[in-house]
Amino acid sequence: MRFDHVHLEAFGHALPDQATTSEALEEELAPIYERLSLSVGRLELMSGIRERRFWPVGTRPSEVATRAAEDALARSGIDRARIGLLIHSSVCRDFMEPATASVVHGALGLPPTCTAYDLSNACLGFANALTVVARAIESGDIEAGLVVAGEDGGPLVRETIKALLADPSVGRREMKLAYASLTIASGAAACVVTRDSISRTPRRLLGGVSLAATEHVGLCQGDHTSGGGPLMETDSETLLHAGNELAGRTWTAFLEELDWSSEDVERVVTHQVGAAHAKLLFATLGLDRALDYPTVQRLGNIGSVSLPITFDLAERDGHIGAGQRVALLGIGSGLHCCMLGVST
């Protein structure tokens, strides 16, 4: 896919105030750690995650998605009356029905002519939604759109710890399958996307590539338990290598689609999963780690909002500057991979 008229006008994000360390989570699992002779510090050592943040109990995804959207709208300077499409793209939603996008639409006071719906694809939802809005802009259907997402990993982490402690048969295998769930965190992101005719920024979405490897659909699956809380099981090691192999194939197609070489890429922003994932990914793609802007150490894995929040933070911190080619790399359970090219 290629876009000639699409600009990423402005990003916005919101993060919880309070941080929870990996060590604190392990202390809650002390009975299991003692029984299995596991040492505290294992979680941070394996994931590279020192801390992550959770919203206060009861926070709705729409609430924090709206907060991030207000940030993006304010920074864009675009009149919200011009927004023709709103997509809420996170895994977390307020409820099954209606669409959480409807709640955000009302909270933002968007016009009745603005279509709103949810789009969810694990950690790739936000990236996928950007391409949907971009296609609507490129075709001339709308002149501006808004992608939002609000992720809350707190319920998953709490339910995971509760389930592990309640099961006296939990062993090292069960702990390994629950490992990825303990890396999940919370945050919200938004992006105002515009047509070049009304844009005030040179930041363009040039295009990208998406590939699927759905033979690996069983490697990471989550659902609500009979008690109502979410639980997820992940074969982290197999998922790491399968995702990395898919990323390698996607990277080749991505460079060909945009007519880039690896040397043309000046900055890289990835979906933040863990330290081992980043190390293997950059080695596979033959990229310099200095191009990266890691946030996983302090923010954890924030699902679909990890990629846009990391991009936003990298720009605000000066890591991404004007006139650079930036590759946005995302991998989501399923498996799916999406890579997008941006010129700043």
Catalytic residue among 51, 63, 92, 123: 123
Round to whole Å and give the CA distance between 291 and 314. Answer: 11
Residue 225 has what pLDDT? 63
Q: Is the pLDDT of residue 205 over 80?
A: yes
Cis omega (within 30 of 0) for bond into 294: no
- Give the closest residue to 267 by CA, choosing from 184, 203, 218: 203
pLDDT at 162 over 70: yes
The confidence band for 228, taking pLDDT boundaries of 50, 70 and 90, is low
Q: Is a pLDDT exceeding 80 seen at residue 236?
A: no
Which domains occur in the chain, in start order? Answer: 204-343 (3.40.47.10)
pLDDT, the chain, mean:
93
Spatial contact of 286 and 264, defined as CB atoms under 8 Å apart: no
- Catalytic residue list contains 97: yes
Instruction: Name residue 272's amino acid.
Output: Q
Percent of the chain with pLDDT over 70: 99
Predicted confidence band of residue 226 (pLDDT cuts 50, 70, 90): low
| pTM as predicted | 0.94
pLDDT at residue 54, rounded to an integer: 97
| Residue range 127-146: mean pLDDT, rounded | 98
Pairwise pLDDT comparison (244 vs 257), residue with the higher score: 257
Q: Is the confidence at residue 235, as pLDDT, over 90?
A: no
Q: Tell me, what's the pLDDT at 240?
A: 77
Q: Indicate if 92 belongs to the active site.
A: no
What string of H, E and C letters represents the secondary structure of the chain?
CECCCEEEEEEEEECCCCEEEHHHHHHHCHHHHHHHCCCCCHHHHHHCCCEEECCCCCCCHHHHHHHHHHHHHHHHCCCHHHCCEEEECCCCCCCCCCCHHHHHHHHHCCCCCCEEEECCECECHHHHHHHHHHHHHHCCCCCEEEEEEEECCHHHHHHHHHHHHHCCCCCHHHHHHHHHHHHECCEEEEEEEEECCCCCCCCEEEEEEEEECHHHHHHEEEEECCCCCEEEEECHHHHHHHHHHHHHHHHHHHHHHHCCCHHHCCEEEECCCCHHHHHHHHHHHCCCHHHCCCCHHHHCECHHHHHHHHHHHHHHCCCCCCCCEEEEEEEECCCEEEEEEEEC
Mean pLDDT of 68-77: 97
| pLDDT higher than 90, residue 184 | yes
Instruction: For residues 197 and 117, give the distance between their C-alpha atoms in angstroms, rounded to a whole number.
Output: 25
pLDDT of residue 230: 84
**Alpha carbons 236 and 317: distance in angstroms, whole number:** 31
Is the Cα torsion angle 210, 214, 219, 221 positive or negative in sign? positive
Tokens 């295998």, residue located:
173
